Amino acid sequence: MVVNVHAPAGISKEPVRPRERTPRVDTPTFEIDVEELAAVREGGTLVDVREPGEYVAGHVPGAVLIPMGELANRLREIDKTARVFVICASGNRSGAMTDLLRSAGFDAASVAGGTGAWARSGRPLKEDLHDHDRPDHRSHRDPDLG
């Protein structure tokens, strides 16, 4: 016995293919490159959101360490009247934390390419933890920054 099955009207006989997913972006990420950072950073605050071991191994001079997992609870430590530049190793963590800062009312931008891009541009990374780099120190400017 042969049964002829027909699709009900309005239903395609073609196989169902899943739709391609588009990444969901709730808040746009604001980015600057290392050239822009070097040019506009005066008067701003550079926040490094990597872990302490990463920071000590090499950080942009004058960067303030506030690890990603602590940032939401330490927003009061950041000057809300100054521009905030957020950096990590590659730009992924800093992008997420820039969105967090912007949603909290900060004028924030992520540094595209992070400390890797900074180093590739020929700019120096410090490999130690000086007092002026500690988060509780209020002076965030570095005259050696090019």
H or E stretch covering 119: helix 114-120
Print burial letters for 101-113: b (CB count within 10 Å at least 16), e (below 16).
bbeeebebbbbbb
Q: Which pTM value belongs to this model?
A: 0.70
**Partners of residue 65 on adjacent β-strands:** 48
Convert the pLDDT of each residue in 36-67 to its tens digit.
Answer: 999 888 879 999 999 999 999 999 999 999 99
Q: What is the pLDDT of residue 39?
A: 87
Task: Return the minimum-mean-pLDDT range out of 13-22, 64-73, 112-121, 136-145.
Answer: 136-145
Report pLDDT for 43: 79
What digits encode the pLDDT tens for the residues 64-115? 999 999 999 999 999 999 999 999 999 999 999 999 999 999 999 999 999 9
The CATH number that domain 31-128 falls under is: 3.40.250.10
Based on the residue annotation, tell me whether 88 is a catalytic residue of this protein. Answer: yes
Would the pLDDT of 15 be above 90? Answer: no
Catalytic residue among 47, 88, 96, 97: 88
Q: How many angstroms separate the first and last alpha carbons of the chain? A: 84
